[in-house]
């Protein structure tokens, strides 16, 4: 199993920086063990590595002050949003200061006429959507957890709506960030298009805090659709379900969500949410548009899916029924953990071209069976992205070893299928070896950029690159 | 007027490199003056600066060889597609080797099931669309000129369809590139989503050949819509037309094209194409979708536009009529030049948030009038992007000075309105001072990246950054 690696600590620098920060931030700098442990918490199997202190800035200027102090004393700076990242992103392998951005949670502007808004990084996606609802607007990116928008930008998050609305890559217009020397930059203006130099916005989106700390985000918004319809359909096999997905995408049906649950997930959802879905592969869908367009999309999908053997089609425009369906989807992580109480879930995150999806999912099922692992699969299949949640007993060394074999095999298979080891979770500490397998020499140019923008390697060290 | 600046030449390095390349490429290395001049040609007012030689590689391996030779001898490498860039991108201010990619024009793969394709950089957008037509697919980015896809990626081009389909930023999935030391990298796999490290794809898209030379492009494709409808509508004022655009976008009508022509452009189009359009501000539109959806979109737009005083609405689903309308749009550059025969056209390229569009366009008209300049305006207004084509007599120093004042004023105004000096043309040699005004310290981090990836500054030097 890939484990987090401890990096050399700069003890004297850390001590000095903490002293300076204590003077500046008083009781907003915390060094108690409980607070430190909480900021190393990851919803993953990666071992926690607590920072030396946690600080709660309230402004970009304060973030800049923190980074300047850390730069002066060569101390790591680890940004923290809600701690829901999955690959050890908030760990502190060389110690240092966790910068908790939850107090920077202001929605600074909503430009309804431009379909954009400007937020601080601690704003969560649910907070933003609650704020926007009365304006008839919404922010579509939905990674499941109620993550902070700064964290979502940092990991290039996506989720269930990405098939229609794209990922954070497609929805961040501009960023303000504090760079490794404490300087504050703005990566772009608020115009929808730009060819003004290098795309610093997209360089920072997905950089996991390793190049700069995001302090403000300009996001694209969407109008709440006139009509929303949800649907579900059962399939005799994963292959049939994947064929339905592929044809739906090829036909250009602008489906807003198209999620696959394998039979194990359906069983878990039935048990957890008291549903009675047929325990075979299931697609959950959502359609957005005008009344007419939603009706048309729903009918087209049903017809496509029936052609490949889909059954038990149900569609609804009732908000209540729709929410029930999607609540079951969002609770899947917890539901599947109940398939084996006490087990630890290891989430994988491969993404392949959609033509390779059926083979990839059925291959993963077969490999898990071969290794005698319980590994339900759920997928944002319109994008070719799926997660195997391997449920293992961490005390069983043999099982851990088999899980390690599986995770590595899956990454290799995805890469061989022209896919990626991570569709939306990021590299963090967990996927460094796969990144090199996937992109080879390209990672050396990434490291050169890291070296140029953060020569002291203080910005979230030990993530993406193993140093 | 911002002029191209000559940079120091490495005479002995150039002589040695040309000798080595002559041995390797034989008669595919050209040093004749006519060929050299042709590769400094720009459809702009920027003074041509010819390279010392032009070489025609046929493979990525050959491009790598060329760059290695140039790296060894510290000689500039200037990529060349079709030469339709507007800001001096193909100029050779320090001399060097123009790498003409027209012989790398193979369409390597079309993955219809994944809605993507892989092309060499010399493939033009029209060539690709001709190839795709029988498969029911198309590539939507349409900068007007029949540009090469490598060039379009390099400048982050867009055009009339961007309001619906995005820019090159949104449509390049992955790149292969030869970096400054001759190494070949692939920036991403072919999966639709990825969180695998820094977004090297989007760092290279729009980098104008200054970080690496693009040798292969994986592009997103679209299915040809079931129905396409074109429409036009006249307006009593620019302000009314812009209000129609703003409301259309806010309502979420997925308009595929929405182009503004001011009265001068309409007059030019009437004269050039023998049309009889009312000589007032005009919107040209296109709608894509199912029959039903296209009808719905067309009706919704007409209703919105009538509310703000739009008149003379005409819509058509006839391919012939539609092509006639869009041919007139695409010929506008030549048509407007006829408004003042012999004049040189200077194209500007600002882009502002759509809420600022009406003020920006009417402000530009007033400023041009104040400076006694003839400057028709055309815009991809759904994105807030518009071009003033200043028609000047380059022999008239006073007029050139007034044009310079206008161009600088326009960039300043756009930046003050949270917009950009360039929506789609790029920085090149022409917009370097505005880039600094627009992004300040951010440009220093761009320069740091340039320094890290191209420490000898051989990749298209003197573009984006003034060195």
Residue of B191, B206, B441 with shortest CB distance to A195: B206
Q: What is the DSSP letter of B95?
A: B
Q: With CB atoms and an 8 Å threshold, state whether A179 touches B445.
A: yes
- Give the per-residue pLDDT at A44: 72
Q: Helix, strand or coil for residue B409?
A: helix
Which of B194, B223, B252 lies at the terminal end of a domain, its last residue? B223
CA A411 to CA A17: how far, in whole Å? 40
Looking at the fold, whether B316 and B343 belong to one and the same domain comes out as no
How far is residue A164's CA from residue A169's CA, in Å, rounded to a whole number? 13
Type and span of the H or E element at B55: strand B53-55
Q: What integer is the mean pLDDT of A301-313?
A: 97
Query: Do residue A242 and residue A266 come from a single domain?
Result: yes
B296, B423, B431, B445: best to mutate for the A interface, most A CBs within 10 A: B445
For residue A284, tell me if it sits in a domain: yes
Establish if A295 belongs to a structural domain.
yes
Record: contact A162-B448, CB cut-off 8 A = no
Identify all chain B residues contacting A249, using CB atoms and an 8 Å cutoff: 115
Residue B24 lies in a domain: no
Residues of A in contact with B453 (CB under 8 A): 445, 448-449
Do B124 and B211 reside in the same domain of the chain? yes
Q: Is B33 exposed, middle or buried (0-12, 13-18, 19+ CB in 10 A)?
A: exposed
Q: How many other C-beta atoms lie within 10 A of the C-beta of residue A258?
A: 26
Q: ∠ CA B26-B30-B33 to the nearest 5 degrees?
A: 155
Residue of chain A with shortest Cα separation from B434: A196
**Rg of chain A on CA atoms, in Å:** 22
Report d(CA B467, CA B464) in Å as an integer: 9
B197·A439 Cβ contact <8 A: yes
Question: Which residue, among A140, A198, A220, A353, would best test binding to B if mutated, counting the most B CBs under 10 Å from its CB?
Answer: A198
Give the model confidence (pLDDT) of A33-91 as tens digits.
999 999 997 667 788 999 999 999 999 999 999 999 999 999 999 999 999 999 999 99
Diameter of chain A measured on Cα atoms: 69
pLDDT, one tens digit per residue, over B69-99 is: 999 999 999 999 999 999 999 999 999 999 9
Residue B133: count other Cβ atoms within 10 Å of its Cβ. Answer: 11
Same domain, A353 and A388: yes
Q: What pLDDT is recorded for position A5?
A: 81
3-state secondary structure chain A: CCCCCCCCCCHHHHHHHHHHHHHHHHHHEECCHHHHHHCCCCCCCCCCCCCCEEECCCCHHHHHHHHHHHHHCCCCEEEECCCCCCCCCCCCECECEEEECCCCCCEEEEEHHHCEEEECCCCEHHHHHHHHHCCCEECCCCCCCCCEHHHHHHHCCCCCCHHHHCCHHHHEEEEEEEECCCCEEECCCCCCCCCCCCCHHHHHCCCCCCCEEEEEEEEECEECCCEEEEEEEECCCHHHHHHHHHHHHHCCCCCCEEEEECHHHHHHHHHHHCCCCCCCCEEEEEEEECHHHHHHHHHHHHHHHHHCCCEEEEEECCHHHHHHHHHHHHCHHHHHHCCCCCCEEEECCEECCHHHHHHHHHHHHHHHHHCCCECCEEEEHHHCEEEEEEEECCCCHHHHHHHHHHHHHHHHHHHHCCCECCCCCCCCCCCHHHHHHHHCCHHHHHHHHHHHHCCCCCECCCCCCCC
Among B192, B220, B227, B429, pick the best mutation site for testing chain A contact (most A Cβ within 10 A): B192
Does residue A440 sit within a domain? Answer: no
pLDDT, tens digit, for every residue of A320-346? Answer: 989 988 999 989 999 999 999 999 999
Structural domain span for residue A324: 227-334
**Residue B5, pLDDT score:** 81
- Least CA distance to B135: which residue of chain A? A250
pLDDT digits (tens, 9 = 90+) for A105-143: 999 999 999 999 999 999 999 999 999 999 999 999 999
- CATH code of residue B353: 3.30.70.2740
Q: Is residue A395 part of a domain?
A: yes
For A24, counting Cβ atoms within 10 Å of its Cβ (0-12 exposed, 13-18 middle, 19+ buried), the class is middle
CATH of the domain at A202: 3.30.465.10
Please check whether residue B242 is in contact with residue B357, taking contact to mean a CB–CB distance below 8 angstroms: yes
Q: Which residue out of B158, B160, B197 would a mutagenesis test of the A interface target, given it has the greatest number of A Cβ atoms within 10 Å?
A: B197
Instruction: List C-alpha distances in Å: A225 to A271, A292, B139, B275.
Output: 32, 12, 27, 39
Q: Write down the mean pLDDT value for chain A.
A: 95
Task: Looking at the structure, tell me whether residues A298 and A405 fall in a common domain.
Answer: no
Q: Which residues contact B322 (CB under 8 A, 6 or more apart)?
A: B228, B229, B230, B286, B316
Residues 6+ apart with CB under 8 A from A398: none
Same domain (yes/no): A154, A142: yes
Query: Burial of B380 by CB count in 10 Å (0-12 exposed, 13-18 middle, 19+ buried)?
Result: buried
Q: Which of A178, A163, A168 is nearest to A212 (CA)?
A: A178
B246 and B305, same domain (yes or no): yes
- The pLDDT score that the predictor gives to residue B228 is 96
- Residues found in chain A: 467
ipTM: 0.97
Domain with residue B253: its CATH number is 3.30.70.2190
Confirm if B234 and B311 have CB atoms less than 8 A apart: yes
Residue-wise pLDDT for A155-203, tens only, equals 999 999 999 999 999 999 999 999 999 999 999 999 999 999 999 999 9
Q: Are A373 and A314 found together in one domain?
A: no
Residues B213 and B293 in one domain: no
CB contact under 8 A, A198 and B206: yes
One domain for residues B143 and B216: yes
Q: How far apart are CA B138 and CA B226, in angstroms?
A: 12
* Domain-ending residue, one of B300, B334, B368: B334
The span from the CA of A170 to the CA of A257, in Å, is: 16
Domain boundary among B223, B244, B272: B223
Three-state secondary-structure class, residue B48: coil
Is residue A153 assigned to a domain?
A: yes
How many distinct structural domains can be found in chain A?
3
> Could you read off the pLDDT of A352-366 as tens digits, one per residue?
999 999 999 999 999
> Would residue A360 count as lying in a domain?
yes
Residue A467 is predicted with a pLDDT of 67
The one-digit pLDDT tens for each residue of chain B (467 residues) are 556 688 999 999 999 999 999 999 999 999 999 999 999 976 677 889 999 999 999 999 999 999 999 999 999 999 999 999 999 999 999 999 999 999 999 999 999 999 999 999 999 999 999 999 999 999 999 998 899 999 999 999 999 999 999 999 999 999 999 999 999 999 999 999 999 999 999 999 999 999 999 999 999 999 999 999 999 999 999 999 999 999 999 888 999 999 999 999 999 999 999 999 999 999 999 999 989 889 999 999 999 999 999 999 999 989 998 998 899 998 999 999 999 999 999 999 999 999 999 999 999 999 999 999 999 999 999 999 999 999 999 999 999 999 999 999 999 999 999 999 999 999 999 999 999 999 999 999 999 999 999 999 999 999 999 76
The closest CB to that of B353, out of A190, A205, A419, belongs to: A190
Residue B104 near residue B84 (C-beta atoms within 8 A): no
**Cα→Cα distances A34→A37, A39, A41, A45, Å:** 5, 9, 11, 20
Q: Are residues A210 and A236 in the same domain?
A: no
- d(CA B103, CA B20) in angstroms, rounded, equals 21
Q: Do B113 and A354 touch (CB under 8 A)?
A: yes
By CB atoms closer than 10 A (0-12, 13-18, 19+), residue A204 is buried
CB contact (8 A) between residue A451 and residue B449: no
Q: Which long-range contacts (CB under 8 A, 24 or more apart) does B329-335 make?
A: B329/B160, B329/B259, B329/B261, B329/B269, B329/B284, B329/B378, B330/B144, B331/B269, B331/B272, B331/B273, B332/B261, B332/B265, B332/B268, B332/B269, B332/B378, B333/B144, B333/B389, B334/B272, B335/B265, B335/B268, B335/B269, B335/B271, B335/B272, B335/B273
- Name the residue facing B420 among A196, A223, A441 (closest C-beta): A196
Q: How many CB pairs under 8 A join A and B?
A: 273
Alpha-carbon distance B300 to A252, whole Å?
22
Q: How near does any CA of chain B get to the CA of A116, in Å?
A: 9
In a domain, A199, yes or no: yes
Query: Which among A103, A221, A86, A104 is positioned nearest to A154, based on CA atoms?
Result: A86
pLDDT at B3: 61
B325 in the same domain as B359: no
The alpha-carbon radius of gyration of chain B (Å, integer) is: 22
B192 neighbourhood in chain A, CB within 8 Å: 351, 353-354, 383-385
> Which residue of A223, A438, A441 is in closest CB contact with B250?
A223
Residue A282's nearest CA partner among A333, A325, A233, A327 is A233
């Amino acid at each position: 199993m890939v484990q987090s690696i401890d990096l050399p600590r700069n003890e004297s620098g850390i001590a000095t920086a903490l002293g300076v920060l204590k003077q500046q931030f008083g009781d907003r700098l915390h060094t108690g063990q409980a607070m430190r442990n909480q900021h190393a918490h990851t919803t993953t199997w990666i071992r926690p590595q607590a920072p030396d202190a946690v600080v709660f800035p309230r402004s970009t200027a304060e973030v800049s002050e923190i980074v300047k102090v850390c730069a002066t004393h060569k101390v790591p700076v680890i940004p923290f949003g809600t701690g829901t990242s999955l690959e050890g992103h908030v760990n502190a392998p060389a110690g240092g200061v966790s910068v908790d951005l939850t107090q920077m949670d202001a929605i600074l502007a909503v430009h309804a006429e431009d379909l954009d808004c400007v937020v601080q990084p601690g704003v969560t996606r649910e907070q933003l959507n609650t704020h926007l609802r009365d304006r008839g607007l919404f922010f579509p990116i939905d990674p499941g957890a109620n993550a902070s928008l700064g964290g979502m930008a940092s990991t290039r998050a996506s989720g269930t709506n990405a098939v229609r609305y794209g990922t954070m890559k497609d929805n961040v217009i501009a960023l303000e960030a504090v760079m490794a020397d404490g300087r504050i930059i703005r990566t772009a203006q608020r115009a929808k298009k730009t060819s003004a130099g290098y795309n610093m916005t997209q360089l920072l989106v997905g950089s996991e805090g390793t190049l700069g700390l995001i302090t403000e985000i300009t996001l694209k918004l969407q109008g709440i659709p006139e009509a929303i319809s949800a649907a579900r359909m059962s399939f005799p096999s994963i292959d049939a379900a994947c064929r339905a997905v592929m044809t739906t995408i090829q036909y250009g049906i602008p489906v807003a969500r198209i999620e696959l649950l394998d039979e194990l997930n359906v069983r878990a959802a039935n048990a957890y949410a008291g549903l009675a879905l047929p325990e075979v592969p299931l697609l959950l869908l959502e359609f957005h548009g005008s009344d007419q367009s939603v009706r048309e999309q729903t009918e087209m999908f049903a017809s496509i899916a029936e052609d490949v053997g889909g059954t038990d089609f149900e569609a609804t425009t009732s908000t209540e029924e729709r929410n029930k369906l999607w609540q079951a989807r969002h609770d899947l992580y917890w539901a599947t953990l109940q398939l084996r109480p006490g087990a630890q879930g290891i989430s994988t995150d491969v993404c392949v071209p959609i033509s390779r999806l059926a083979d990839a999912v059925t291959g993963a099922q077969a490999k898990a069976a071969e290794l005698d692992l319980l590994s339900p699969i759920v997928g944002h299949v319109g994008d070719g992205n799926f997660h195997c949640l391997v449920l293992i007993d961490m005390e069983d060394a043999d099982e851990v070893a088999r899980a390690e074999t599986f995770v590595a095999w899956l990454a290799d298979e995805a890469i061989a299928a022209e896919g990626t080891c991570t569709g939306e979770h990021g590299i963090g500490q967990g996927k460094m070896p796969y990144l090199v397998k996937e992109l080879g020499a390209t990672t050396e140019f990434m490291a050169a950029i890291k070296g140029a923008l953060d020569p002291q390697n203080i910005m979230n060290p030990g993530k993406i690159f193993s140093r």
